[in-house]
Chains A and B, each alone.
Chain A
Amino acid sequence: MCVRRAIPLLIAAATCLSSMFVCADAARDIPAVLVSRQLFVSEKMSVGDVVTIAADGAGTNAHRFRVVGSYEPVPDPMRLGVVRREMRMHLPDLLAMSADPRDPLAMETVDAINIAAIGKKSRDRIGDKQDAAASEAFAKNLAARIPGVYARPTAVSDDRTSPFVVLERFHLAIAIVTVVASSIFLLALMLMLVDERRSTVGILRLIGYRRRRILEYVVVEGLIIAAAGAAIGVVIAGLFQGGVNRFFQWRYDTALVFVRITPGIAFRSVAMAVPLGVLAALASSWTLLRREVFALTRR
């Protein structure tokens, strides 16, 4: 009797198990697609979801794809503010979905072919230190051999027009103006400081201190103030960089890093600030040191 009751249960379990295997097999047959994080979140997708995608708004030749994961699109500063709703799929799947059946070459046509050059002496990829001349020659040779193909090296010889380089130059220009304004501010402060010390310098001169020694004090003081100020500035910038990056990454929904304080940048900032500070101290003290001692001590 227990066996008779168990048989329908066993059959049901076997049916369920076999249908699960069939479903799993069917799911494996559905091609995979990777979805950008922005699209993944906005459409509330999950890994394993099956989505239907078409190449036009009318839904022509729609295909089903299985979402296997999400990815972070490569940040593009030229597309700040644009929500990156993108997908990545295997090329045959894209061609099957988007190819025009009337075109016999549709399944053989792509927009671009990326080529990685190999060095002559070694079989390694040339990589980041790409020989621009070799790439250009290859592109020219390819274009000449295959009419209708437009080949060009990705690393252009004149990099001045890259958006990154243009923005870098713009930021440098703004930094120069800011440094000039800061130097004027510092000069104003030093002038006032020097004015307050007029009588002190006069007394030092009266008791025998030479101009050169007082100048050394001024230079060392300017050096200490400038170095301390530059160091504090670098520390403040380092503290702020995390907040600035987090704010703009949230604002633009991007992984782009907006501010990065490197040792090179810190060194350049200090190297620029310290001489300017010393120069400001010297410039402000110059008239004081040139005056006669009695002019300094006169009330």
Chain B
Amino acid sequence: MIGRAFVFAGRNLLRQPGRASVGIFGIAAVGALLFDMLLLSRGLVVSFRDLLDGIGFDVRVVASDAAPRSGPRLSDAENLTRQIAGLPQVDEAVTVRMVDATVDEPRSHWTIGFELTAIDPARRRPWTIMAGADLSIDSGQGILLNARLADALHARPGDSIKVRVSCIADRAALAPATFRVAGIAEFPFDDERWLSAAAWTHGVLGACGGGSSVPADMIMIASREGYGADGAVAAIRRIRPGLRPATNEEIVARMQQQGFTYFRQISTVLSTITMLFGFLLITVLLTVSVNQRLGEIATLRALGFSRARLAADIFWQSVLLVGTGGVLALPLGYLLAQWLDRILKAMPQIPASMHFFVFEPRALVVHGALLVMTAIVAAVYPMRLVSALPISATLRNEVVG
């Protein structure tokens, strides 16, 4: 009976192709927007988590809850790093200092400012080499540039550049120091316009005359296998209760509360509106369709079709409209997501490797569930109309009217 009702519903829709196509395209349009809003609701979180995990360090120690470079810094960082690295729960600990640097570009006479990261990485390198060689102990005063900075300076691997470094904001910069470009690297947190570089700590501190007394912005820590990030954080808090170690998950949760909250809000609002839209579209389509077919429905009832059979017809029409539109919504939603993602990635300080719209199977499941719910709820009123239709009065009105 379900099969027959399904086929019957399909034929009814095909009898009015214009109305059926408009309903399907309408559901496809709102379904695409709904799908994109579901991708947006967790896209930044998923993307940011992947970015953090991809670097290889799963714990970060900072001096306060402020973002790096905007709050207090870690003093006595070298001793602190040695102490943390000595913990059995810690596999690797690296001090990170982010300082301002400038180079006088000889051709344009512009002073090009960029962010220089002073770091002594061991096994894990928080960057990807695109050209040239990586920093090594033997490379001396080596420096890695990102591609945009290399283009701005017209520098290639092997070239020497004179860099003026300022490690502490309220201190004047010394005379420029010569660095040799070891290679071109991609830094994961750079946005599409950011100019950045990385060099050994001793080289950077030597260039700014700061020495090891220069406070650090953070300490990146990789936990040892078997203990996990939580174990490393607990151990650090035991030895230094005043510090603020955070796992990648905690950092992601904090960003979700602060930085990404606007996109969660807008995705919730737009998801609600699109669902309401879809519900209204299908309800109106089916209700008007029923109202226009009252005589036909009454005739079918008089011929012996049960209420349940005719209500099932309405139900399957709703399912067909929403289902077909929902399937079309997926490729449409994918294309729309590419477009919206390109728009949003133009925002400053958004890393180039992050995305706002990230596909998760969970989003597909939620999308399907919401559409199914819309199909069911939208069919309720027209099904009720059909079930409660008085046969004889309706047939009489058809003849007389």
Binding site for B on A (CB under 8 A): 56-57, 77-78, 80-82, 98-100, 103, 105-106, 109-111, 140, 143-144, 147-151, 160-163, 166-167, 169-170, 173-174, 177-178, 180-182, 184-185, 187-189, 191-192, 195-196, 248, 251-252, 287
Contact residues in B for A140 (Cβ distance below 8 Å): 109-110
Asked if A166 and B344 make an inter-chain contact with CB atoms under 8 angstroms apart, the answer reads yes
Shortest beta-carbon distance from A55 to chain B in Å: 8
Interface size class of B (residues with CB under 8 A): 35 or more
Asked if A109 and B63 make an inter-chain contact with CB atoms under 8 angstroms apart, the answer reads no
Asked if A188 and B348 make an inter-chain contact with CB atoms under 8 angstroms apart, the answer reads no
Contact residues in A for B171 (Cβ distance below 8 Å): 100, 103, 105-106, 109
Asked if A170 and B343 make an inter-chain contact with CB atoms under 8 angstroms apart, the answer reads yes
In the bound assembly, the distance between CA atoms of A98 and B333 in angstroms comes to: 53
Contact residues in B for A105 (Cβ distance below 8 Å): 171-172
Asked if B164 and A191 make an inter-chain contact with CB atoms under 8 angstroms apart, the answer reads no
Asked if B168 and A100 make an inter-chain contact with CB atoms under 8 angstroms apart, the answer reads yes
With A148-B172, A181-B30, A191-B19 in contact, is A81–B292 under 8 Å at CB?
no
Contact residues in B for A174 (Cβ distance below 8 Å): 33, 270, 340
- The residue that A81 contacts in the complex, of B257, B270, B344, with Cβ under 8 A, is B257
B144 close to A (CB within 8 Å): no
A160, A167, A173, A188 pick with most chain B CB within 10 angstroms:
A188
B258 close to A (CB within 8 Å): yes
A-B residue pair count with CB separations less than 8 angstroms: 126
Asked if A195 and B292 make an inter-chain contact with CB atoms under 8 angstroms apart, the answer reads yes
With A109-B171, A192-B285 in contact, is A143–B110 under 8 Å at CB?
yes
Contact residues in B for A187 (Cβ distance below 8 Å): 22
Extra A-B contacts (7), CB below 8 Å, given A105-B172, A184-B25: A57-B72, A57-B242, A151-B111, A170-B343, A184-B26, A188-B285, A191-B19
With A181-B26, A188-B19 in contact, is A161–B346 under 8 Å at CB?
yes
Asked if A98 and B170 make an inter-chain contact with CB atoms under 8 angstroms apart, the answer reads yes
Asked if B344 and A170 make an inter-chain contact with CB atoms under 8 angstroms apart, the answer reads yes
In the bound assembly, the distance between CA atoms of A56 and B30 in angstroms comes to: 53
Shortest beta-carbon distance from A179 to chain B in Å: 10
With A150-B102, A173-B339, A187-B22 in contact, is A178–B33 under 8 Å at CB?
yes
Shortest beta-carbon distance from A260 to chain B in Å: 17
In the bound assembly, the distance between CA atoms of A140 and B111 in angstroms comes to: 8
A-B contacts, 14 of them at CB < 8 A, read A57-B242, A81-B259, A143-B111, A148-B102, A173-B343, A177-B33, A180-B29, A181-B26, A184-B29, A185-B277, A185-B281, A188-B26, A192-B292, A248-B265
Contact residues in A for B239 (Cβ distance below 8 Å): none
Asked if B29 and A177 make an inter-chain contact with CB atoms under 8 angstroms apart, the answer reads yes
In the bound assembly, the distance between CA atoms of A260 and B51 in angstroms comes to: 36
B113 close to A (CB within 8 Å): yes
Contact residues in B for A149 (Cβ distance below 8 Å): 111
In the bound assembly, the distance between CA atoms of A287 and B17 in angstroms comes to: 13
B104 close to A (CB within 8 Å): yes
B111, B242, B292 pick with most chain A CB within 10 angstroms:
B111
Shortest beta-carbon distance from B80 to chain A in Å: 14
Contact residues in B for A173 (Cβ distance below 8 Å): 339-340, 343
Interface residues of B in 215-274 (CB under 8 A from A): 242, 257-259, 261-262, 265, 270, 273-274
Contact residues in A for B22 (Cβ distance below 8 Å): 184, 187-188, 191
Contact residues in B for A144 (Cβ distance below 8 Å): 109
With A184-B22, A185-B280 in contact, is A82–B258 under 8 Å at CB?
yes
Contact residues in B for A161 (Cβ distance below 8 Å): 193, 346-348
B388 close to A (CB within 8 Å): no
In the bound assembly, the distance between CA atoms of A147 and B259 in angstroms comes to: 37
In the bound assembly, the distance between CA atoms of A174 and B337 in angstroms comes to: 11
Interface residues of B in 1-37 (CB under 8 A from A): 18-19, 22-23, 25-26, 29-30, 32-33
In the bound assembly, the distance between CA atoms of A109 and B110 in angstroms comes to: 22
B284 close to A (CB within 8 Å): yes
Contact residues in B for A80 (Cβ distance below 8 Å): 258, 261-262
Contact residues in A for B168 (Cβ distance below 8 Å): 100
In the bound assembly, the distance between CA atoms of A163 and B262 in angstroms comes to: 13
The 9 closest A-B pairs by CB, nearest first: A81-B258, A181-B29, A184-B26, A188-B22, A109-B170, A192-B288, A166-B347, A81-B261, A143-B111
Shortest beta-carbon distance from B328 to chain A in Å: 12
Shortest beta-carbon distance from A80 to chain B in Å: 5
Contact residues in A for B63 (Cβ distance below 8 Å): 57
- The residue that B346 contacts in the complex, of A77, A148, A160, with Cβ under 8 A, is A160
In the bound assembly, the distance between CA atoms of A57 and B347 in angstroms comes to: 33
Query: Nearest A residue to B332 by beta-carbon distance?
Result: A177
Contact residues in B for A109 (Cβ distance below 8 Å): 169-172
Query: Nearest B residue to A160 by beta-carbon distance?
Result: B346
Contact residues in B for A147 (Cβ distance below 8 Å): 104, 111
In the bound assembly, the distance between CA atoms of A103 and B280 in angstroms comes to: 70
Shortest beta-carbon distance from B383 to chain A in Å: 18
B173 close to A (CB within 8 Å): yes
Contact residues in A for B257 (Cβ distance below 8 Å): 81
Contact residues in B for A81 (Cβ distance below 8 Å): 257-259, 261-262
In the bound assembly, the distance between CA atoms of A280 and B68 in angstroms comes to: 54
Interface residues of B in 130-154 (CB under 8 A from A): none
Contact residues in B for A189 (Cβ distance below 8 Å): 284, 288
B373 close to A (CB within 8 Å): no
Shortest beta-carbon distance from B70 to chain A in Å: 10
Asked if B23 and A150 make an inter-chain contact with CB atoms under 8 angstroms apart, the answer reads no
Query: Nearest B residue to A112 by beta-carbon distance?
Result: B169
B336 close to A (CB within 8 Å): yes
B349 close to A (CB within 8 Å): yes
Contact residues in A for B18 (Cβ distance below 8 Å): 191, 287
